[in-house]
């Protein structure tokens, strides 16, 4: 059959598949020893601005400061208040080392909430303490004295 420019179309033959069974499988990449995990969570606009001010005072980025808060708070064995997670807020990132990320995962399982909510609870607790609020422990100690 002739085409518009006078070329003939040839029937298409299937290509032979070359099978190279002796070829090695590609090696998997090594995992970095200092690999970090990223968790993003939402904070209200006011809380994010407050956290940004604190980060500026420490000459850190928002992500670095939030990560530092979470890392330091995980070292302490303490109870946290239950804060409402704001889905309408703005995202803030936390970059954690493998060990800290595993601690967040275990808290997530223990508390029955997502990793985002665990990090949110830790950061909100920090903001509450910095603003002069009471923690659960100080509240309980105060109630024991009154009774």
Q: Which tokens go with 16? A: 């032979």
**Radius of gyration, CA atoms only, the chain:** 28
Contacting residues for 117 by C-beta, under 8 A, at least 6 apart: 41, 85, 108, 111
- Domain residue limits, the chain: 36-146
Q: pLDDT by residue (tens digit) across 113-142?
A: 999 999 999 999 899 888 876 655 555 555
The 10 Å Cβ neighbour count of residue 60 is 14
Q: Which tokens go with 71? A: 């890392």
CATH domain 36-146 topology: Arc Repressor Mutant (1.10.1220)
Q: According to the model, what pLDDT value does residue 129 have?
A: 86
The pLDDT profile of the chain, 147 residues, written as one tens digit per residue, is 556 666 666 677 777 666 666 667 777 888 887 889 999 999 999 999 999 999 999 999 999 999 999 999 888 877 888 888 888 889 999 999 999 999 999 999 999 999 999 999 999 989 988 887 665 555 555 544 443
The answer to whether the CB of 124 falls within 8 A of the CB of 83 is: yes
């Amino acid at each position: 059959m002739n085409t518009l420019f006078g070329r003939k179309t040839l029937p298409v033959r299937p290509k032979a598949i070359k099978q190279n069974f002796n070829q090695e499988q590609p090696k998997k990449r090594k995992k970095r020893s200092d690999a970090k995990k990223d968790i993003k969570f939402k904070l209200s606009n006011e809380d994010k601005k407050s956290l940004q001010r604190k980060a500026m005072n420490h000459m850190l980025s928002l992500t670095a400061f939030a990560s530092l808060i979470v890392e330091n708070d995980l070292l302490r064995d303490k109870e946290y208040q239950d804060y409402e997670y704001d889905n309408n807020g703005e995202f803030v990132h936390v970059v954690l080392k493998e060990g800290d990320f595993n601690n967040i995962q275990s808290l997530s399982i223990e508390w029955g909430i997502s990793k985002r909510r665990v990090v949110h609870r830790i950061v909100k607790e920090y903001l509450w303490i910095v603003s002069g609020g009471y923690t659960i422990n100080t509240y309980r100690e105060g109630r024991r004295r009154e009774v």
